[in-house]
Amino acid sequence: MRHAAPICVSIGIAGALIVAVPQGWAQREVALLEPAEAQAELERATRESQQAEARAARLASEASEAEEEAEKTAREAASVAAQIQASEANIAIARARYSLAQSASAALSARLAERQQPLVRLTGALQTTARRPLALSALQPGSLKDVVYVRAVLESAVPEIRQRTAALRSELEQRRNLERRAERALANLRASEEQLQVRRAELAKLETRQRLASREARGVAAREAERALALAEEARDLDGLIDKIDEAATLRRELAALSGPILRPANISAGPVSASDRSAMATPSPSPSSTRLSGFQLPVQGRTVTGFGELRESGMRSTSLELAPARGAQVVAPATGRIAFAGPYRGFGRIVIIEHEGGWTSLVTGLDRIEAEVGDALIAGAPLGVAGSDAPLVTIELRRNGEPVNPLNFLG
């Protein structure tokens, strides 16, 4: 979207409009949005920034209260990831505000250019006449009385011109305000970008500390990763992979619900253990599937490209949400759970499948880099990875007992 160069107009001594084209006041290239798009982006980013900052504060508070080091580090990492998302949203806010200021400035410049042309011609002629020496005017045809009369008319006309150009002076002040607003937006953009780099470096340190702390558990994770890859090879498509992972999760829950070994009675002569005693010693079964997924959030911030249930070009209804985040945006776990699959998969790029309690499963696709591994237990908001750097698209699909549901209905 191209904008006309801003026009600066001022009122001369005799009422003439002096026109000048100032140097560009934006020293860096920022992609401009159309006004309606910029306003929608501003509202979305402002809402997401507030939500991310609230999550970051809550997770930081939970981290300070955590007693175990592993839990403390996990919540610190999730807090920093939320701060990164807040910085990303602040960058979007600054860009939207800059676009709005530029659009308003372009519209005002065009209006000023249109209105100032006749005034320039009129006041220029009046100014030239007013500055002509009286002796030279006397040499022109006509009486000296007429010349004096013309000068008197000019003297009364100049204040009237100044009064009529008051609206223009007001618009010029508005133009200067727009310029200052754009400069503030650029300054906020630079500050948010610097803050984003600092927080990403902080998150990298926390992730390194987490990996070192969990190194002893890598053997178990490697075996789980091998099983996940085997399931991926068996599955015909992504739906088949999710189904196989759901079956494996169901099997684990059923095994966990089985009673433990029957203990040998202290008094053998007392006879076999009764059914009621065996029931008392059995491991309690997990709670039934919940209709609510606690603490669910979208994995990335961005504009919704495809909604749940929307008709695709293929003629099929969408079973997920497709989001367009910023390049390299932070992607986080949508809810507390355990990673069942993490890695590239058949044309979908890098994907992550997370098992949640109560028969819930979430699928996140479109990651450029994955920062978690199969078997990792994650809290809601824990860093999963980052989005791509070239027109990224991240999808989130949420299932309950194998059936896709609209993720927007379960946002915390």
Name the pLDDT band for 25 (thresholds 50, 70, 90).
very low
Query: For a pLDDT cut of 70, what percent of the chain falls above it?
Result: 66
What pLDDT score was predicted for residue 148? Answer: 64
Average pLDDT for 162-166: 66
User: Is the model more confident about 158 or about 195?
Assistant: 195
**Per-residue pLDDT tens over the stretch 29-40:** 677 889 999 999
pTM above 0.75, yes or no: no
Please state, in angstroms and as integers, the Cα–Cα distance from residue 7 to each residue in 113, 173, 276, 302, following that order.
Answer: 7, 12, 90, 36
Q: Which of 149-158, 225-234, 277-286 has the highest mean predicted lDDT (pLDDT)?
A: 225-234
What pLDDT score was predicted for residue 221? Answer: 60
Query: For a pLDDT cut of 90, what percent of the chain falls above it?
Result: 35
What pLDDT score was predicted for residue 242? Answer: 82
Least confident of 156-160, 216-220, 252-256, 319-323: 216-220
Least confident of 9-13, 46-50, 83-87, 361-365: 9-13
User: Is the model more confident about 334 or about 151?
Assistant: 334
What pLDDT score was predicted for residue 141? Answer: 57
Q: Are 106 and 179 in contact (CB under 8 A)?
A: no
Token pair 């801003």: residue: 6
What pLDDT score was predicted for residue 150? Answer: 60
What pLDDT score was predicted for residue 385? Answer: 94
What pLDDT score was predicted for residue 307? Answer: 93
Name the pLDDT band for 87 (thresholds 50, 70, 90).
very high
Name the pLDDT band for 245 (thresholds 50, 70, 90).
confident
Computed over every residue of the chain, the mean pLDDT equals 76
Q: Which tokens sit at 389? A: 């750097």
Q: Which of 184-188, 212-216, 363-367 has the highest mean predicted lDDT (pLDDT)?
A: 363-367
Nearest-angstrom CA–CA distance, 206 and 253: 32
What pLDDT score was predicted for residue 120? Answer: 61
pLDDT at 361 over 70: yes
User: Is the model more confident about 213 or about 326?
Assistant: 326
User: Is the model more confident about 236 or about 41?
Assistant: 41
Name the pLDDT band for 347 (thresholds 50, 70, 90).
confident
Q: Are 238 and 319 in contact (CB under 8 A)?
A: no
Q: Which tokens sit at 317? A: 């209804």
Name the pLDDT band for 284 (thresholds 50, 70, 90).
very low
Q: Which tokens sit at 392? A: 């990224």
What pLDDT score was predicted for residue 207? Answer: 82
Name the pLDDT band for 139 (thresholds 50, 70, 90).
low
Nearest-angstrom CA–CA distance, 28 and 273: 80
Nearest-angstrom CA–CA distance, 286 and 398: 21
**Per-residue pLDDT tens over the stretch 387-404:** 998 889 999 999 998 889
What pLDDT score was predicted for residue 43? Answer: 95
pLDDT at 162 over 70: no
| Residue 370, helix vs strand vs coil | strand
Nearest-angstrom CA–CA distance, 159 and 164: 9
Task: Select from 24, 20, 22, 2 the least CA-distant residue to 11.
Answer: 20
Task: Select from 249, 243, 202, 190 the least CA-distant residue to 224.
Answer: 249
Q: Are 336 and 215 in contact (CB under 8 A)?
A: no
Average pLDDT for 138-151: 58
User: Is the model more confident about 191 or about 280?
Assistant: 191
Which residues, including other chains, have CB under 8 Å from residue 266's CB and lie 6 or more apart?
A: none
